[in-house]
Amino acid sequence: MNKLIILLILLAAVLFTAGCTENPKNTATELAPDFKGDQGKSVVANLTDLEQINTSVQTGPVFVKLGSEGCDACREMKPILNDMAAKYGGRATVMSVDIEKSPQLAAYFGAYYIPDSFVVVGVENGEYVYMQEDGNVTTDRSQARVQGLTETHVYEELMERAILYHENAK
């Protein structure tokens, strides 16, 4: 009986840590905000501080993805984020948070399941204003989050609505 319990605990530990590896090479998500690549294309900014959102949202919506290097779905989102940064460069900012490197941001945004994405379209009375998938805005991030990996068009439609909202709010 004790061997069975130990075996179950070991199995649970293996399953819990599956995919949790460090990737030491630098990626596009580790670049500074508003960085332009060699061909002048915007790239995904590494979000480490709320002030980056506060600064960027003044010029356009900010798409934020919360994730980690050990998350397969988060790694699968990297090309989507890079494409969005190139497509919406100059009109919006795309940022990525590694919740293992910035746990304070994970706590601030209440990230429990990753990837967890959202779009900030403004700040109202000291609170972020988020774009919902239906085009409405809210200060309740739980109503505006997109959890898990989803189809690219969902992120793009959300960004288009956010850009339109931001342009009309000026």
Domain coordinates in residue numbering, the chain: 27-169
Residue 118 pLDDT exceeds 90: yes
Q: Around Cβ 124, how many Cβ atoms within 10 Å?
A: 10
Q: Tell me yes or no: is domain 27-169 CATH 3.40.30.10.
A: yes
What's the pLDDT score for residue 38?
41
More reliable by pLDDT, 40 or 102: 102
pTM of this prediction exceeds 0.85: no
- CA distances in angstroms from 29 to 66, 122, 141, 151, 167, listed in the order given: 11, 23, 22, 20, 26
What's the pLDDT score for residue 37?
43
Q: Output the DSSP codes for 42-93.
A: B--EE--SHHHHHHHTTTS-EEEEEE-TT-HHHHHHHHHHHHHHHHHTTT-E
What's the pLDDT score for residue 162?
96
What is the residue-averaged pLDDT of the chain?
83
Residue 35: pLDDT band (50, 70, 90) is: very low
pLDDT single digits (tens) 48-94: 999 999 999 999 999 999 999 999 999 999 999 999 999 999 999 99
Residue 169: pLDDT band (50, 70, 90) is: confident
Q: What is the mean pLDDT of residues 109-117?
A: 94
